[in-house]
Chain A
Amino acid sequence: MFSVAVKKRRGSFQLDAQFGLPTPGVVALFGRSGCGKSTLVHIIAGLLDADEGRIALDDSLLLDTAAQVHVPAERRRIGVVFQDARLFPHMSVAANLNYGRRRAAPPFFVTLDAVADLLGIGGLMNRRTHQLSGGERQRVAIGRALLSQPNLLLLDEPLASLDAARRGEVLPYLESLRDQLAIPMAYVSHDFDEVLRLATHLVLMDAGRTIAQGELTAMSLNADLRAIIGPEAVGAIVEGTVLGPDPASGLSRVRVGRGELKVETLPAAAGTKLRVQLLARDLIVATSAPRDLSVRNVIEGVVTQVAGDSGGSDLVSIDIGGAIIVARITRAASRELALTPGRPVWALVKSVSLRGHVTGLLHASA
């Protein structure tokens, strides 16, 4: 368990953050720029003193102002990856990687070779840091933090300074880190796509306060989240299970709730759990079993809630058996179809709308 409860006043800015994360897991600290994420990261790392509070990671107490416990940053065993990489310019890549490793105390859980392999930086060892591309710099920074054998990896917007292509280059490495090393991570970001791909838990921050938190799937329809990411990005995140290939179409079959979705061919084995995002704007609601349509993915469910959304539309929540998905339809359509809680409906999902939203492997379980 990683638990944080800290307060800090900086001029007129007041940080008041509280959250918990079961370990190992990846908690995303998500919010608009300037909401205090960076201040929180610095406090967790020990680089900034909290006015009061408590930080604990598993069985080690890192900060407890009431009990006068204050472990200095250099002994917290928290690896930090900064937005600007902060590689040491007077050292080679290898020397950067070894900097933390040489100063680390046992237990060691990862070796230089393993890290080089995992992050694909084996060929960069003798380079000077200024010869690296942005993506390579961040990968080296991640490797350097990992090799200090931390109990927690703190990533402060590690992809924010990269362009879209470089971001796409680094993200898969972060995913394999999560899946292969089982190290707890706190991931700070203002990009919801990154959060979707990496996080297991989500903490929402606004104006210095943590306003909501929970498992990512449970948080996906949170109203505060909706306010931050905007109406276009609203959508249920549900867990799906790969069933196997569909011989007729060549697509992959994924079970979501009671329904079954056909998605682009996945290289994942049957039984693999996936996270699937169904954007509200990509769902169509029918009150009778649809026929003669080009849409291939239809899930049966029951309306649980109809809520007004901005711009004359309604958000319709549909229970599809163990999961809730949300569709955005116009208010007129909502009235005409007489959508009320308890009503059986069919949700039509344009199969193309799933592309890119099938997220990385959460748990590689059979």
Chain B
Amino acid sequence: MTMWPSADEFAALQLSLSVALRSVLFSLPVALFFAWLLTRRRFVGRTLLDAFVHLPLVLPPVMVGYVLLLLFGSRGPIGGWLQREFGIQLIFTRNGAALATAVMSFPLMVRAMRLSLESVERGLEDAARTLGAGPLDRFASITLPLMLPGVLAGAITAFSAALGEFGAVITFVSNIPGETRTLPLALYTALQTPDGEHAAARLAIMSFALGMSGLLLSEWFARRVRRLLGR
């Protein structure tokens, strides 16, 4: 067995990284907004919204993919509109894969952000207020920098989770080599192929290395930020 991955396997790795990155970039601002909404605002239906945000954690990923297909498919209400108005197609594309992984990792991101937002002392925001900072200014100059460790931890966790998402991706955007066949999908495919054990082993090692480096990076980063804040 050769240890060196084939071009196809490298493509799967590259695609995984690309999909995960898109997924995080897309969900980051949305998650930030929901974290803020759920932590700082009191409104009717907050508990319900909280539960809704957490749904992907408890639903079968295949079902999430199926719902996405219904909504974002070319005949779905949102997918159809996107296609008509902007010519954007999500099914069978890597952007679609990014959307599926974003939805699946969304609760993880919101959770990490909420924890860090709760730990931001409101007194510091009050102090900023008396120093002349309006609401957006306060958020950008005080709240966001102070919750940055949580935001980054959330982003890295979500990125790692996005690398590994399988069910929702294969259901929503299928398993197209070079477009939607990410590492887990490639691994699955290899296992379905006769004599694919070596390829599967290589892909598994790649997944393992990727996941480990993500976790280590996250830990290293959290430490740096803590030192910067003197905690």
A interface residues (Cβ-Cβ under 8 A, vs B): 45-47, 72-80, 82, 84, 86, 88-90, 99-100, 103-104, 128-131, 144-145, 148
Give the docked Cα–Cα distance between A86 and B126 (Å): 9
Whether the pair A80, B127 counts as a contact (CB closer than 8 A) is yes
- In chain B between 35 and 68, which residues have their CB closer than 8 angstroms to a CB of chain A? none
Q: A84, A103, A129: which contacts B133 (Cβ < 8 A)?
A: A103
Q: Is the interface of A mostly helix, strand, loop or mixed?
A: mixed
Give the docked Cα–Cα distance between A77 and B130 (Å): 7
Whether the pair B130, A74 counts as a contact (CB closer than 8 A) is yes
Give the docked Cα–Cα distance between A72 and B113 (Å): 28
B interface residues (Cβ-Cβ under 8 A, vs A): 121, 123-124, 126-134, 137, 141-142, 145-146, 228-231
Tally of contacts, chain A with chain B, CB under 8 A: 67
Whether the pair B230, A73 counts as a contact (CB closer than 8 A) is no
Smallest distance from the beta carbon of B99 to chain A beta carbons, Å? 33
* A74-B127 contact, Cβ under 8 Å, with A88-B142, A89-B229, A128-B230: no
Give the docked Cα–Cα distance between A131 and B145 (Å): 19
Q: A47, A100, A130: which contacts B131 (Cβ < 8 A)?
A: A100
Q: A77, A79, A90: which contacts B229 (Cβ < 8 A)?
A: A90
* A79-B130 contact, Cβ under 8 Å, with A90-B228, A130-B230, A131-B230: yes
* A103-B127 contact, Cβ under 8 Å, with A90-B145, A90-B229: no
* A47-B129 contact, Cβ under 8 Å, with A88-B142, A89-B146, A90-B145: yes
Give the docked Cα–Cα distance between A267 and B141 (Å): 46
Give the docked Cα–Cα distance between A103 and B136 (Å): 13
List 6 tightest A-B contacts by C-beta distance, closest first. A130-B230, A100-B131, A103-B132, A86-B127, A80-B130, A73-B129
* A129-B126 contact, Cβ under 8 Å, with A74-B134, A100-B132, A145-B131: no
Give the docked Cα–Cα distance between A74 and B131 (Å): 6
Give the docked Cα–Cα distance between A144 and B128 (Å): 10
Contacts of B124 in A (CB 8 A): 86, 88-89
* A99-B230 contact, Cβ under 8 Å, with A88-B142, A90-B146: no
Give the docked Cα–Cα distance between A116 and B184 (Å): 60
* A47-B229 contact, Cβ under 8 Å, with A84-B123, A86-B124, A90-B145: no
Contacts of B145 in A (CB 8 A): 90
Q: Which residue of A lies closest to B121 (CB)?
A: A86
Q: Which residue of B lies closest to A131 (CB)?
A: B230
Q: B128, B141, B230: which contacts A129 (Cβ < 8 A)?
A: B230
Contacts of A129 in B (CB 8 A): 230
Contacts of B121 in A (CB 8 A): 86
Q: Which residue of B lies closest to A84 (CB)?
A: B123
7 contacts between A and B (CB under 8 A): A47-B129, A88-B124, A89-B229, A89-B230, A99-B128, A103-B133, A104-B132
**Which of B130, B146, B230, B231 is the most central at the interface, judged by chain A CB atoms within 10 Å of its CB?**
B130
Q: Which residue of A lies closest to B141 (CB)?
A: A99
**Which of B121, B124, B145, B146 is the most central at the interface, judged by chain A CB atoms within 10 Å of its CB?**
B124
A47-B130, A88-B128, A90-B145 given; name 6 further pairs at CB < 8 Å: A79-B130, A84-B123, A86-B126, A89-B124, A89-B230, A99-B133
Smallest distance from the beta carbon of B126 to chain A beta carbons, Å? 5
